[in-house]
C-alpha cells in the first residue's frame, strides 16, 4: 500500500562539508528543481549543524526542507556539545534524524534514548526520522524482522501519528558499503514495519517508511517502487548534487 504523500528523498550529509560546499550543493539542487515543471517528491537536506544556516539561505523558497542529524532529549541545560530540538527548529529545520545506527553504535543510544529524543523533536514541532536496522550478525542469525520490530516498538513515542513521525529502515551492513539490501529484503522488512506501525500508531498505514543503505542513482528506481517504501535516506550519494537529484527523479510520483 502506498501512502498518499509524496516520497521523501532525504540526504544525510553526516560529518561532511564546509560552508562553500553547502552553498554549492544547495544551489545546484535548487537549480535542478527549478527546471522541473512538476515535482513529485519532497527533498530534505540534513547537513551538519554549523551548515544549517547557509543551507537555509541557499534553498530559500525552493521547497527544499532542512533537518538536523541528532538532538538532545532535553529542551536546554548543562549538556556541553549537545543541541536541543527547539534550537534546530529555531535554525529553520523541519525534521530531525534520531537513532541513526552511527549514533546507536558510537554513543550507545538504546531505543529508550531514541524515543525520548523523538519525543523532544515532536515537542519542538518538528518531525523525527526514527532510524532502525539490524547488524549483519543479526541478519545472518535470522533475527532481522524481530530486531527491527523491537526497535520500532521501543523508539517511537506514544501518541505519534503519520504527520508527526517517519521511520527509516537502514540495515547497518548496507550503510556506506555499496551493498544495498535486495528488493526482497527491503519488502519483507518494510512490510513488517508497516504491520507494527498499524498496531502502535493510530494511522500507522500512512506513516512514511524510508529505506537507507547504499541508495544510488542506479538502484533508486527499483528500491523506491517497492511496496511500503515511501522515500529514501541517502548518505554518500547525497554529497553529489547530480547523484542525489537523480535518486529523487527516480521516485515514482
Residues of the shown chain interacting with ligand 13P in the complex, contacts defined by CB under 6 A: 12, 100, 170, 175-176, 212-215, 233-237
Pick the closer one to ligand 13P by CB: 9 or 197.
Answer: 9
Pick the closer one to ligand 13P by CB: 105 or 159.
Answer: 105
Residue of 42, 102, 109, 170 marked catalytic: 170
Q: Where are the alpha helices (DSSP H) in 60-182?
A: 85-90, 101-107, 111-123, 136-140, 144-155
Find the shortest distance in angstroms from Cβ 216 to ligand 13P.
8
CB-based contact 250:222 (threshold 8 Å): no
Query: Is the Cα dihedral 244, 248, 250, 251 positive or negative?
Result: positive
Pick the closer one to ligand 13P by CB: 175 or 193.
Answer: 175
> Residue 100 catalytic?
yes
Contacts of 131 by beta carbon, 8 Å cutoff, 6+ apart:
97, 98, 99, 100, 101, 104, 114, 167, 168, 169, 170, 212, 233
Find the shortest distance in angstroms from Cβ 56 to ligand 13P.
20
How far apart are alpha carbons 117 and 73 in whole angstroms? 4
Q: How many Cβ atoms from other residues are within 10 Å of residue 127's Cβ?
A: 23
Find the shortest distance in angstroms from Cβ 207 to ligand 13P.
18
How far apart are alpha carbons 197 and 176 in whole angstroms? 27
Find the shortest distance in angstroms from Cβ 221 to ligand 13P.
16
Residue of 42, 100, 109, 134 marked catalytic: 100
Pick the closer one to ligand 13P by CB: 64 or 168.
Answer: 168
Q: How many Cβ atoms from other residues are within 10 Å of residue 232's Cβ?
A: 28
> Residue 35 catalytic?
no
* Residue labelled with grid coordinates 541557499: 58
Grid cell in block for residue 77:
541545560
Pick the closer one to ligand 13P by CB: 100 or 194.
Answer: 100
Pick the closer one to ligand 13P by CB: 40 or 176.
Answer: 176
Find the shortest distance in angstroms from Cβ 170 to ligand 13P.
5
Contacts of 164 by beta carbon, 8 Å cutoff, 6+ apart:
122, 127
CB-based contact 224:231 (threshold 8 Å): yes
Find the shortest distance in angstroms from Cβ 74 to ligand 13P.
24
Q: Which residue's C-beta sits nearest to ligand 13P? A: 235
- Residues with catalytic roles: 100, 170
Amino acid at each position: 500500500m502506498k501512502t498518499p504523500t509524496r516520497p521523501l528523498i532525504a540526504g544525510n550529509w553526516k560529518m561532511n562539508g564546509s560552508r562553500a560546499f553547502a552553498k554549492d550543493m544547495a544551489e545546484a539542487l535548487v537549480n535542478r528543481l527549478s527546471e522541473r515543471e512538476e515535482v513529485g517528491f519532497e527533498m530534505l537536506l540534513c547537513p551538519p549543524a554549523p551548515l544549517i544556516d547557509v543551507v537555509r539561505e541557499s534553498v530559500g523558497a525552493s521547497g527544499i526542507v532542512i533537518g538536523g542529524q541528532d538532538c538532545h532529549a532535553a529542551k536546554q541545560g548543562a549538556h556541553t556539545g549537545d543541541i536541543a530540538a527547539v534550537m534546530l527548529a529555531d535554525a529553520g529545520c523541519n525534521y530531525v534524524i534520531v537513532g541513526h545506527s552511527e549514533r546507536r553504535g558510537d554513543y550507545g543510544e538504546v531505543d529508550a534514548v531514541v524515543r525520548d529524543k523523538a519525543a523532544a523533536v515532536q515537542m519542538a514541532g518538528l518531525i523525527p526520522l526514527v532510524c532502525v536496522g539490524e547488524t549483519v550478525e543479526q541478519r545472518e542469525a535470522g533475527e532481522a524482522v524481530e530486531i527491527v520490530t523491537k526497535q520500532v516498538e521501543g523508539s517511537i513515542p506514544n501518541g505519534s501519528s503519520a504527520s508527526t513521525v517517519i521511520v527509516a529502515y537502514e540495515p547497518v551492513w548496507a550503510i556506506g558499503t555499496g551493498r544495498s539490501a535486495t528488493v526482497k529484503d527491503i519488502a519483507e522488512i518494510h512490510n513488517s514495519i508497516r504491520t507494527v506501525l498499524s498496531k502502535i500508531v493510530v494511522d500507522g498505514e500512512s506513516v512514511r517508511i524510508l529505506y537507507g543503505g547504499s541508495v544510488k542513482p542506479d538502484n533508486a528506481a527499483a528500491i523506491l517502487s517497492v511496496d511500503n517504501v515511501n522515500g529514501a535516506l541517502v548518505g554518500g550519494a547525497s554529497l553529489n548534487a547530480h547523484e542525489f537529484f537523480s535518486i529523487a527523479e527516480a521516485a515514482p510520483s
